[in-house]
Structure 1
Amino acid sequence: MKINQFKAGFAGNAAFKSIAVVIPIISLMLIQSACSSGTGKNQNTKPIAVPIVELKAMDVIVPKTYVCDIQAVQFVEVRAKVEGFVDRIYVDEGEFVQKGQNLFQLSSNEFNEVVNSAKAKLMQARAEAQGAQLEVDRLKTLVEKNIISSSELELARSRRAVAQSAITEAESMLKNAQTGLSYTTIKAPFDGIVDRIPFKTGSLVTSGDLLTNITDVSEVFAYYKVNENEYLQYMREKIENESLEKDLNLILSDGEVYPYAGKLETMEADFERGTGSIAFRVRFPNPDQLIKHGASGKVQTENKLEGIFLIPQKATFEIQDYSYVYLVDKDNKVKVRSFKPLQRFGLFYITDDFEEGDRIIYEGIQQVKDGMEIFPELTPEIEVYDTLAKV
């Protein structure tokens, strides 16, 4: 009886233990089923539609600007060559003058006296030379009649030569005096515009003092510097095409484009030490006299880039100075891709880091993340690059 009771009790305990083991297993299965159901719902979520753009290699003419130094085609400092007082000023500041026109008159009394003295000495030398010639003629007759010896005639001829050399010296002195007198009248060296006049009537000027500047701005030179790589690129293009002539634009300090195009004429002979740059010179017509000597501006050139890609700026993002885009693979999954911009061009980055046919997210980069699957919507090229016409 006890044995049967023990068996019955043991059987009851075994059944309890079996139930205790089965309950957690069932609970775990229910949790896994719930998790699988939740995962299934996420897997069945439809990919979001995102605009993309398919990249194509293209050739682009990119403008590039260089800060330039603008100078007049002719610029001369008018300085006094002699000392004197300013007796008269014939022109005003900013006035247009012609070559040879009088600008200033310095006091000339002293120089007039020097000229008069030189003229007197010249007259004296000529008189003495004439007397020496008469003496030679007289002695020549006497020698022919054997009245005197020929040595006296030779001595007279020597005195005549001295008198003639005195004439040459007197003429030279007169020319120097006349030149000094001419320096008291300052004339315009060429057609141009008068700059500031620091000395007024009655001022004492010395040799070398700056009286004014004359500038000819009918044309202007714009000097800008390029590095060695840009110089080599230009020279190679010029060697391949000897008739290469580029029309360059000038952007004035107010941002306006100068209406007349310029021609690249020449360059410096050497590279600057330290900077490794070399200066090019561009000639611009200036018929309206708009540009003045010493003005500032920028020379704009055009650089043709072949086989490059234009990446819209709104399709990019930056992390620690690196530029990124979202690349879409063949399975429509998003992948983060870095690239190196060569330069900006309007609302685009220029780069050569991609392949023909690569697809990138065009808009909505905030909605996607790396590894995410999307539904790509191809954006028409005309919509992507419509701003290029405004660059």
Structure 2
Amino acid sequence: MKNKKRMITLIIILAVAVLFGLRIGGNLQNKRSSKINPSQSFAEDSIKATPITIARVKKEKIDDTIFTIGEVSPTTKYNVNSKLNGEVDKIYFKVGDTVKKDDLLFTMKSDVYSSDKNSNLSKLKNQLDIAKTSLSQAKKSFDDTKKLFELGASSKDQLDRASLNYDNSNANYKNALSSYNSLKVSYSNQNDLYKVKSPVDGIITTKNIEEGMFASQSNGFTIITNKSLLIKSKISSKYINSIKVDQEVDIYINTIDRNYKGFVSSISYSAVKGSYPIEVTIIKPDEFIYSGMYGELKVKLTTKENVLTVPLNSIVKENNDSYVYKIINDTAIKTTIKTGIINNNFVEVSGNIKTNDKVALKGKEFLKDNSKVMIQ
């Protein structure tokens, strides 16, 4: 019986000890967990901070520049058409061919013309030959009569008639010669109508004439020359009072990866859908540039020295206001600024900002005023 009581007492003591031990362990665990773990705290703080990249505010020279595009066009087009109505005989060039000045482009059939020319010239040539023979005979008769008159073997009346005959024959010959030469010149000029030549060195861009067709004076070729080219473009009304004739222009032709210089040669003050047409003449175009190519135009209006600039992608727009997030002691401060000239992905700024200030770039869209940041 005594042993049974001892056993019960021992079990009770062990149970109390276990319960007491569990309570002490729990309290110790709670105490441990309540202590601050430095590494855990840093991780939590890092999660709260927004990762960003930054740029520095700089003082730089910046150009106020207009960027636009336009199409290369010839300064002058030459429409070389048939000079008369008739059938086309031969064509010697096609679209895209290069021609030289006085190259024969095409001819018109001249069968009837040639027949008439030969017939009429032949008639006048015969008349001229007859007049020439008559003149020769009249001269000989006058010379013989004059000798006889001087010898007293001919009368004054005979000499006068011989002289008059000679004068009339001479006049007839001169008239026949003049008519023949005039007709030759006339036919020579008409002959040019049947042979159409290029007036310039250039490139054929259009052709609306074919061999065998009946052509009128509206059929022929269009020729342009690469010696004088311009770019037709447009600018917005914002810049119409800033751009001037003779202003220098930088030109880049993307398709051939070449740069050229030019100048504003024409400005139209009549708007087309809110934009104003301009023409830029290309200085010293070469054999690589052709009409129909597109050019990127850069027109520099003004230059400012030592102005504050930030990257364009650091600017945040909100309604009509612009601001940046200025980084001070790992905190993003929302700072309102005014913007000016934009050029080469940089923008002129002014306001509560100075040289070397840090501004947020990537990650700025996740920031608010006084956000904590982690610079990467």
TM-score (norm 2): 0.62
Q: Deviations over 1:138-170 (max 9, x none)?
A: 457757846138698578646634642443343
**Structure possessing the higher radius of gyration over alpha carbons:** 2
Q: Deviations over 1:7-28 (max 9, x none)?
A: xxxxxxxxxxxxxxxxxxxxxx
Paired residues of 2:338 and 2:350 also in contact (CA < 8 A): yes
Aligned to 2:259: 261
2:182 counterpart SS class: helix
Aligned to 1:77: 79
Between the aligned partners of 1:263 and 1:68, the Cα distance in structure 2 is 14
Aligned to 1:202: 212
| Aligned pairs for 1:105-124 within 5 A | 105-124=107-126
Q: Deviations over 1:329-380 (max 9, x none)?
A: 99x994642413433533x3x22535753846424655342xx5x8999x8x
Change (3 A) 1:66 1:222: farther
Between the aligned partners of 1:89 and 1:210, the Cα distance in structure 2 is 12
2:180 is the counterpart of 1:170: yes
2:229 counterpart SS class: strand
Paired residues of 2:82 and 2:220 also in contact (CA < 8 A): yes
Identity of aligned residues (%): 15
**How far does residue 318 in structure 1 lie from its aligned partner after superposition?**
1.3
Change (3 A) 1:65 1:170: farther
| Aligned pairs for 1:1-391 within 5 A | 54-60=56-62, 64-72=66-74, 75-124=77-126, 126-127=128-129, 129-130=131-132, 131-132=134-135, 135=138, 138-139=141-142, 145=149, 147-148=156-157, 153=163, 157=167, 160-161=170-171, 163-206=173-216, 208-217=217-226, 221-224=229-232, 227=240, 229-231=242-244, 234=247, 248-252=250-254, 256=255, 258-264=256-262, 267-268=265-266, 271-275=267-271, 279-283=279-283, 285-288=285-288, 291-300=289-298, 305-307=303-305, 308-326=307-325, 334=333, 336-346=335-345, 348=346, 350-351=347-348, 353-354=350-351, 356-357=354-355, 359=357, 361-363=359-361, 365=364, 366-369=366-369
**How far does residue 228 in structure 1 lie from its aligned partner after superposition?**
5.1
Paired residues of 2:245 and 2:264 also in contact (CA < 8 A): no
**How far does residue 58 in structure 1 lie from its aligned partner after superposition?**
0.5
Paired residues of 1:260 and 1:284 also in contact (CA < 8 A): no
Q: Deviations over 1:103-158 (max 9, x none)?
A: 32321111102321342254245336533575467457757846138698578646
Change (3 A) 1:153 1:65: farther
Change (3 A) 1:279 1:292: closer
Change (3 A) 1:272 1:113: same
**How far does residue 249 in structure 1 lie from its aligned partner after superposition?**
3.4
Paired residues of 1:76 and 1:213 also in contact (CA < 8 A): yes
Q: Deviations over 1:199-258 (max 9, x none)?
A: 33321112x1222233444x56133567453327948xxxxxxxxxx8x43234xxx4x3
Considering only aligned residues, what root-mean-square deviation do their CA atoms show, in Å? Answer: 4.5
Query: Mind listing any 5+ residue stretches in structure 1 that lack a counterpart?
Result: 1-47, 236-245, 384-391
Question: Larger strand proportion, structure 1 or 2?
Answer: 2
Paired residues of 2:323 and 2:334 also in contact (CA < 8 A): no
1:261 counterpart SS class: strand
**How far does residue 188 in structure 1 lie from its aligned partner after superposition?**
4.0
Paired residues of 1:314 and 1:362 also in contact (CA < 8 A): no
My pick for the range that moved more, 132-141 or 78-87, is 132-141
Between the aligned partners of 1:96 and 1:333, the Cα distance in structure 2 is 65
Paired residues of 1:62 and 1:302 also in contact (CA < 8 A): yes
TM-score (norm 1): 0.60
- The one-letter code sitting in structure 1 at the alignment partner of 2:83 is K
Q: Deviations over 1:253-288 (max 9, x none)?
A: xxx4x34432437835xx534257753311454435
Change (3 A) 1:262 1:137: farther
Paired residues of 1:326 and 1:361 also in contact (CA < 8 A): yes
Query: Mind listing any 5+ residue stretches in structure 2 that lack a counterpart?
Result: 1-48, 150-154
